[in-house]
Amino acid sequence: MISSLLPSILQHENISRICEDGVYITDRRLLPFQKKEILCHDYAEASAAIKDMVTQGGGPLEVALNTVLYTYLHCPEHIRDAVVSLSSARPTNTTMKRELESVLRRCESGEDMSAVIASVFERYDALYDRVSDTGESVLENGDGILTTCFPEHTFMLSVKKAVMNGKDITVYVPETRPYLQGAHLTEPCLREMGVRCFLITDGMAAHFMREGKIQKYMTASDLALKDRTVVNKTGTLGNAISAKYYGIPYYAFSLGLDEGKQKDDIIIEYRSGESVKRMGDMEIASSSASALYPCFDIIDPELVTGIITDGGII
């Protein structure tokens, strides 16, 4: 049901698919200019592709599920290694690790893997549908919404449902350097769904808040804790602080709080500063410059109005 509402790049087969020779992953780094799939012949190649940011957001989970199934079908003796390798490909993504370990347990207790994996996909689709109903309920007619990075299924479905319900919605999309997920993924998805949207640079959000153009700030979350701490793509924190300053509520979507984790447990990935010095293939800084790339922000609970979850707004 939700697939008819989703933008094309979030349809399962456009994220990742299994074939005879391995698992295809759509290379999101090339979108929207080029649609190209990368073929991973085994779990090691799939893990490397996830590490290389071929896909992101919810993409790694779908890739990992397909890779585990492919491994099961072709080299079942490697399935445990596959789960370990894939889980460590994106350390901040604890959901993926949890799901893969659950799949492994069900596999080891003798369940049919194809059915297990299919059930996980179905469970997520139903979850996206319910969480986005809650997200839609937060949106009001006339709202300007700021987001950051690529907020994927739950946000896209929330906005789409709001527009289908006759609400007039405008989304402001920061380009999200260094990988430009806002420019490459979020803006094209919203436009494809018929949602009015404007691309801006990462430094412009506060300006539009000050002008009264933004009524809500909404992002995905790579991790959300019970105490309402949110971890999300670099840039999320600064916008959350600006939102608080202007009295604008900030909501983060989460498919499931990380119940066990404490704030002090959070490991922030630092990626190579070379990403900051490049824009795709183009050098944008001196090769001798030193650059830093902490790729996630920790947003403290006092900045978070609510986390939109399957259990309502926390």
Q: Work out whether 84 is an interface residue with a second copy (CB under 8 A).
A: no
Catalytic residue flag (residue 222)? yes
Among 188, 224, 230, 305, binds a second copy (CB under 8 A): 188
Q: Work out whether 191 is an interface residue with a second copy (CB under 8 A).
A: yes
d(CA 37, CA 40): 10
Q: Work out whether 248 is an interface residue with a second copy (CB under 8 A).
A: no
Q: What are phi and psi of 271, to 5 degrees?
A: -100, 175
Kindly provide the b/e burial profile for residues 45-62, where b requires at least 16 CB atoms within 10 angstroms of the residue's own CB.
Answer: bbbebbeebbbbbbbbbb
Q: Which stretch in 72-80, 124-132, 155-163, 242-250 sits in contact with a second copy by CB under 8 A?
A: 242-250
Among 200, 218, 223, 248, binds a second copy (CB under 8 A): 200
DSSP 258: B
- Residue from 143, 222, 258, 297 carrying the catalytic annotation: 222
With 0-12 / 13-18 / 19 or more C-beta atoms within 10 angstroms meaning exposed / middle / buried, residue 215 is middle
Residue entry with tokens 């889980």? 87
* Positive or negative: CA dihedral 97, 98, 103, 104: positive
Q: Work out whether 210 is an interface residue with a second copy (CB under 8 A).
A: yes
d(CA 87, CA 121): 17
- Residue 135: CB atoms within 10 A of its CB come to 24
Nearer to a second copy, 90 or 177 (CB): 177
Nearer to a second copy, 121 or 293 (CB): 293
The 3-state DSSP class for residue 227 equals coil
Q: Of 251-280, which residues contact a second copy (CB under 8 A)?
A: 273, 276-277, 279-280
With 0-12 / 13-18 / 19 or more C-beta atoms within 10 angstroms meaning exposed / middle / buried, residue 260 is exposed
Nearer to a second copy, 38 or 180 (CB): 180
Q: Among residues 166, 164, 147, which one has the least CA distance to residue 155?
A: 147
Among 97, 177, 216, 228, binds a second copy (CB under 8 A): 177
Q: Of 140-169, which residues contact a second copy (CB under 8 A)?
A: 148
Among 128, 178, 225, 305, binds a second copy (CB under 8 A): 178
Distances (CA, A) of 284 to 197, 277, 313: 27, 6, 41
Q: Work out whether 229 is an interface residue with a second copy (CB under 8 A).
A: no
Q: Work out whether 59 is an interface residue with a second copy (CB under 8 A).
A: no
> Could you tell me how many residues of this chain bind a second copy (CB under 8 A)?
57
- Binding residues for a second copy, per CB under 8 A? 32-33, 148, 172, 174-178, 180, 183-184, 187-188, 191, 197-208, 210, 234-239, 241-242, 244-245, 273, 276-277, 279-280, 282-286, 288-294, 297-298
> Which are the catalytic amino acids?
222
